[in-house]
Copies of this chain bind each other. A is one copy, B any other.
């Protein structure tokens, strides 16, 4: 039997691929790369993320076993999010994606302008 294959339509690895490449996943995992953080700290780091989207992303990461959510019994309760070992193994691939977007932004934007000019001519 061969292993998972995201090129096969019904292989669940395709949906996993979809989840991990999501921009909010990339940015939230990135924001947790240097250690555990509270919800509000992540929200500030991932500028402009809506509460709904951040809550959904964190819950999905928790469900997939990539992030742990720890509630400290203080008043008021402190809640911290932290990458698991599996989550930490995602840091390098996602950081490479992030770096690509930063390094190639100018080229991509230039290409778009040219493409749209040609189509508009």
Q: Are B102 and A46 in contact (CB under 8 A)?
A: no
- Residue from B16, B89, B96, B101 within 8 A of A4 (CB atoms): B101
Closest to A48 in B: B9
- Say whether A72 faces chain B, with CB atoms less than 8 Å apart: no
Indicate how many identical chains form the complex.
2
Q: 0/1 per residue, A1-40, Cβ < 8 Å to B?
A: 0011111111011101110111101110011000000000
A120 CB-CB contact with B under 8 Å: no
List A residues at the B interface (Cβ < 8 Å). Answer: 3-10, 12-14, 16-18, 20-23, 25-27, 30-31, 45-48, 62-66, 86, 89-90, 92-94, 96-102, 104-105, 107-112, 115-116
